[in-house]
Each structure stands twice: as C-alpha cells, then as structure tokens.
Structure 1
Amino acid sequence: MTFSDVVEAIKSLSNEEKLEIQLLLQQYLREERREEIYQNFQAAQVEQQNSELKFSSNIDELKQLIEE
C-alpha cells in the first residue's frame, strides 16, 4: 500500500475514525521521540563513562566544542 493509498483511505473514513487516527499518530510520534531521547541519553552515558564528554563555562570554548 502506498502513501497515497493511505491518504485516500483516510479521506473515506468518518470524522470519528479520523480523530482516532489522529490520536494514534500523536501517540506513535510521542513514543518515537521518547525512544530517540532515550537512545541519545544512553549514548551520552557511554561517552561519559569513556571520558569523552567535554564541559566548559566559557562561551567561546562552548561554541568551539559545538563546531567540532
């Protein structure tokens, strides 16, 4: 099934069904974002354990670290 097939199928649904799909999509997007945040957190923990993280309170140094 292609994306356009899905769009056409959604168009034919009732308002109640469309709202349910909207709620489901919002939930799926939240879950995916949470998983992404969790994966980034785990990667940061590994970097911290390997002493790969760099910290600074100097704004110029922070800018340079971001560019690296």
Structure 2
Amino acid sequence: MEIRIGVRDVAREVTFESDSTPEQVRSLIAEALSSGSALIELQDDKGGTVLVPAAALGYVEIGSPEKGRVGFGSH
C-alpha cells in the first residue's frame, strides 16, 4: 500500500510503498506521537527505513492495501 507523509515547511511529500497494514502504520504513528518520540520510523516494501521527525509531521495519508497489479510485475 502507498503511504504519503507531509512534512511541515517542505514542499514535497514523502511517498513510499509498504507491506504493513493500515492498522500497523496507524499504531506506529500514534505510539510515536503519544510517547513523545523524536522520530517516526516506518518500513518500506524493499526493507528500507523511513524516518520522519515527529515534530515536523504535517499529515499521513495511508492508502488501502493493493488488490493486485495489472501488467508484467515480478511479484
């Protein structure tokens, strides 16, 4: 699923694909914000880590899980 994160005072969004469920992403973000963590840490679908400063978080748009791709994918 696609995750888009808006960061304050930055014109471009942080956009990446993740294998996490929408509930997992929501939980990670809520936990980081409620605990006063300096960073929000999320995993992309390639095994990479995306770090966003919690204080600069503008918004998070969590896409729905993909139903399947059309075309010649290697999945």
Which category describes the TM-score, using the shorter chain as reference length? under 0.3
- TM-score, normalised to structure 1, is 0.28
The structure number with the bigger radius of gyration is 1
- TM-score, normalised to structure 2, is 0.26
Instruction: Flag the structure with more relative contact order, 1 or 2, with Cα contacts below 8 A and sequence separation at least 6.
Output: 2
Greater helix fraction, Structure 1 or Structure 2: 1
